[in-house]
Amino acid sequence: MGHANRDNVVTTVKGKCRVCFTCVRECPVKAIKIIDGQAEVLSDRCIGCGNCVSVCSQNAKVALNLKDDVENLLNDENKKVVALLAPSFPAEFTEFDDYKTFVGMVRKLGFDKVLEVSFGADLVAREYQKLLGESNVNFINSDCPAIVFYVEHYHPELINNLTPIASPMVAIARVAKHLHGEDIYTVFIGPCIAKKAESDEINEVLTFSELRELFEKNDISPEKIEPSRFDEPESGMGALFPLSRGLLHNVKKSDDIIEGNMIVDAGQNNMREAIKEIENGEIENYNLELLCCKGCIMGPGMSDRNNYYFKWSQISKYVKAKLQDLNVEKWKKNVEKYIEIDLSQTFSKRDRRERLPAESDVEKVLKEMGKVNESDHLNCGACGYETCFDHAVAVLQGYAEEKMCLPFTIEQLHQYIEELNTTNEKLMSTKQELKHSEKLAHMGQLSAGIAHELNNPLGVITMYSNIIMDELDDNDQKKEDAKLIVEQAERCKKIVSGLLNFARKNKLKVQETDIVKLIENSLSSVIIPDNIEVNINSDLENPRMRIDNEQMIQVFTNLEKNAIEAMPGGGKLNICVTGKEDEVEIRVSDTGDGISEENKNKLFTPFFTTKEVGKGTGIGLPLVYGIIKMHNGKITVNSNADANRGPTGTEFIITLPR
């Protein structure tokens, strides 16, 4: 990423991410990829601004921790280690009334020298003053490393617009080496993560959070500390640098709307906007003081990122006290003393932009996400991308997933819920059918038992009552009685044979049959009164299908008998056969009395009958139901028994798979 040969300044803690996409939204360069339900930082795209670290409530993004390396340096007696303390420290270590205690604590860690980076800022400010005074190009300040990386990687055409001036950190490191020798080791301590990759002129970079960890680990607390001042050279106004407009104050420039030619802004959105406008040539001859964070005092390396204004006030309080205490003559002398120090900086184009995918491909992805018309582009930003178009591009580049689109996911959820409702309904009706089938199965077992026991004695009764009847003289009054016994015994046999049928209906003997002919034949075993008209219609091209003939005949005779019995005053019995590709539908309808609403649900229940005693058994329809189910078919009923609602009648609809 930077020049310090460190690319992985921000990494992901796998498993912690709850995919809220806040990091995607806050990442100025979209260096986040959603992999296996986790938002992962792509180090080869990252500019180290640390926004993702700041915004991740789950702490799933962490900055590279170098405190062990720093400890190793400090423990090596042969190495002279110099701390370079960033000017934002008063905003972090607000618990100290006197900064000297804090400096003493840093010294206690083992640093040989503790220097103020703000003196580097004093030197840099002087360079800025010279440059901004004489130049007539747009300048982008280069003291924020995230801004520098952003330009180098994503707007490389603008690298000549970066102020060719070293950052305060690099400036003070050069001063330190000038003062204490080239072989010293420098450790920058500040609020910034991008600094870890900024420059190979600095050996190590610690955040304030890491510094606190070191204090804790080494049991360094203010009570046991001997307060001390910073090592020379002490700074002046450079201490204001970590505030937005801090640089401006230093170079005594104004961002007055009429007078000034300075634009000062902070935050990833504003800095991107400003740089884009420079690139598009929309602003000319302006100097941009940009910060990626909301000022360094809100940097991701601060242990607490709240209370912006309190932090601001702490800096200003510190600077005020400092300036009162400042030996201005000595400070001026110091600034002059280091005039020889080279404060130049160079930048290189390191383009990391990706080629945009073909528009047609983007449109395809948008369509998949349900964005067909302009009005479907809600650009709600819930996915983390500014526009639906940007999101679709990221999907094609492999960084994002379609399901990150919230409106699309909600729409899909609605569909799933609808499907689930339909499935639930189906499940309910299957449950009911299952219950019914269970009832029938129990009925079957019971029937088999009863039928078996009754069949033989009934045979004997029938045989002997017939013999008695034949032996009696026609004029004998007893002959009539015997005839009654024969008739009732026959009726009992019919019921028993019905029950036996019921018991036997768990096996099918299928054979290829012409269904229409079978229906015609079924009518031959039914007595059709003259006042009833029967019609059979079929549109089947191929009436042949595999069914159990014997059982299916029973289905139709039962339905036909019921229909006829429902039309004592005459009417029409229509049987209509229609064919679909994979099933045949048979409708048996009559113009009879119809079935009342309350009886409709009981039709297929064994022994349910509305017919008078001696006429109905209530076995017919359960038998029909069982046979149809055995054929993997379906039977439903439509009926109207209320003449006020239209013509009365009943229609049984059977569907049989081919």
Q: Is residue 233 reached through a cis peptide bond, with omega within 30 degrees of 0 on the bond before it? A: yes
By CB under 6 A, residue 618 contacts ligand ADP: yes
Question: Given the complex with ligand ADP, which of 108 and 600 has the nearer CB atom?
Answer: 600
Q: Considering only residues 296, 595, 654, 656, which one is a binding residue for ligand ADP as defined by CB under 6 A? A: 595
**What are the residues whose beta carbons fall under 8 Å from the beta carbon of 210, sequence distance 6 or more?**
65, 66, 67, 70, 301
From 84, 603, 628, 635, residue interacting with ligand ADP (rule: CB under 6 A): 603
Q: Is beta strand 634-640 parallel, antiparallel or unpaired with respect to 649-657?
A: antiparallel
Token pair recorded at residue 658: 């081919």
Where do we find the tokens 């029909």? 624
Q: Give least dist CB 563 to ligand ADP, A.
A: 4
Q: Which range in 172-180, 353-361, 391-399, 610-618 contacts ligand ADP by CB under 6 A? A: 610-618
CA 125, CA 117: separation in Å to the nearest integer? 12
Applying CB under 6 A, the span of 66-74, 414-422, 448-456, 602-610 interacting with ligand ADP comes to 602-610
Query: Buried b vs exposed e over 521-536: b needs ≥16 C-beta within 10 Å?
Result: ebeeebeeeeebebee
Q: In what order do the strands lie in the sheet with 634-640?
A: 532-538, 571-579, 583-590, 649-657, 634-640
Query: Residue from 50, 300, 620, 626 that binds ligand ADP (CB under 6 A)?
Result: 620
Burial class (CB in 10 A: 0-12, 13-18, 19+), 395: buried
User: In the complex, what is the shortest distance from the CB of residue 651 to ligand ADP, in angstroms, rounded to a whole number?
Assistant: 9
CA distance 286 to 91: 30
Q: Please identify, using beta-carbon distances, which residue of 314 and 640 lies nearer to ligand ADP.
A: 640
638 SS3 class: strand
Q: Which stretch binds ligand ADP (CB under 6 A): 117-125, 170-178, 416-424, 604-612?
A: 604-612
Q: Is 26 in the site for ligand ADP (CB under 6 A)?
A: no
Q: Residues 609, 629, 655, 658: which binds ligand ADP (CB under 6 A)?
A: 609
Q: Measured from the CB atom, is 210 or 590 closer to ligand ADP?
A: 590
Q: Does 592 bind ligand ADP (CB under 6 A)?
A: yes
The sign of the CA dihedral 168, 169, 174, 178 is positive
**Site size toward ligand ADP, by CB under 6 A:** 19
Structure tokens given for 215: 């204090």
**Within positions 528 to 587, which residues make up the interface with ligand ADP, using CB under 6 A?**
558, 562-563, 566
Instruction: Give the DSSP letter string of 384-402.
Output: SSSSHHHHHHHHHHTS--G
Distance CA 375, CA 644 (A): 51
The answer to whether residue 621 forms part of the interface with ligand ADP (CB under 6 A) is yes
- 381 is a contact residue toward ligand ADP (CB under 6 A): no
Interface pick for ligand ADP out of 96, 439, 608, 653 (rule CB under 6 A)? 608
Tokens of 276: 């884009």
By beta-carbon proximity to ligand ADP, the closer residue of 288 and 621 is: 621
Shorter beta-carbon distance to ligand ADP: residue 43 or 591 = 591
How many CB atoms are located within 10 Å of the residue 544 CB? 13
How many alpha carbons lie under 13 Å from residue 467 in its C-beta half-sphere?
A: 5
Q: Which stretch binds ligand ADP (CB under 6 A): 1-9, 274-282, 404-412, 591-599?
A: 591-599
Give the residue carrying structure tokens 């002959």. 479
Q: Are 587 and 634 in contact (CB under 8 A)?
A: no
Decide the pairing of beta strands 139-140 and 185-190: unpaired
Confirm if 80 and 184 have CB atoms less than 8 A apart. Answer: yes
Cβ pair 183, 80 in contact under 8 A? yes
Is 650 a residue that touches ligand ADP (CB under 6 A)? yes
| DSSP H helices in 9-116 | 22-26, 51-55, 67-75, 89-92, 99-108
**Least Cβ distance, residue 418 to ligand ADP (angstroms):** 36
Of residues 58 and 610, the one with the C-beta less far from ligand ADP: 610
Question: What is the enclosing helix (H) or strand (E) of 500?
Answer: helix 477-504
Residue closest to ligand ADP (Cβ): 620
- Going by C-alpha positions, the residue among 208, 168, 203, 211 that lies closest to residue 191 is 208
Least spacing, CB of residue 432 vs ligand ADP, in Å: 18
Minimum separation from the CB atom of position 511 to ligand ADP (A): 26
Using the rule CB under 6 A, give the single segment among 38-46, 405-413, 481-489, 616-624 that binds ligand ADP: 616-624
Least distance in Å: CB of 607 to ligand ADP?
Answer: 8
Residue 41 vs 595, nearer CB to ligand ADP: 595
d(CA 41, CA 643): 74
- For residue 561, the one-letter residue type is K
Comparing C-alpha atoms, which of 573, 578, 590, 574 is closest to residue 538? 578
Exactly one of 617, 638, 653, 655 binds ligand ADP (CB under 6 A); that residue is 617
Beta strand extents in 138-180 (DSSP E only)? 139-140
Tell the smallest beta-carbon distance from residue 650 to ligand ADP (Å).
4
Q: How far is the CB of 415 from ligand ADP (least distance, A)?
A: 41
Amino acid sitting at position 58: Q
* Residue among 143, 152, 560, 590 that touches ligand ADP (CB under 6 A): 590
Kindly state whether residue 638 participates in binding ligand ADP, applying the rule CB under 6 A. Answer: no
Give me the least distance between CB of 555 and ligand ADP, in Å please. Answer: 11
In the complex with ligand ADP, the residue whose CB is nearer, 184 or 526, is 526
Residue 491 interacts with ligand ADP (CB under 6 A)? no
Minimum distance from residue 625 beta carbon to ligand ADP (Å): 9
Nearest approach, Cβ of 420 to ligand ADP (angstroms)? 35
| Contacts with ligand ADP, 114-153, as mask; x by CB under 6 A | ----------------------------------------
What are the structure tokens assigned to 592, written together?
A: 């009879």
> Is the Cβ of residue 129 or residue 609 nearer to ligand ADP in the bound state?
609
Residue 190 or 592: the one with the smaller Cβ distance to ligand ADP is 592
Stretch near ligand ADP under the rule CB under 6 A, chosen from 120-128, 422-430, 572-580, 607-615: 607-615
345 binds ligand ADP (CB under 6 A): no
Give dist(CA 432, CA 187) in Å, integer: 77
Contact residues toward ligand ADP (CB under 6 A) are 558, 562-563, 566, 590, 592-593, 595, 603, 608-611, 616-618, 620-621, 650
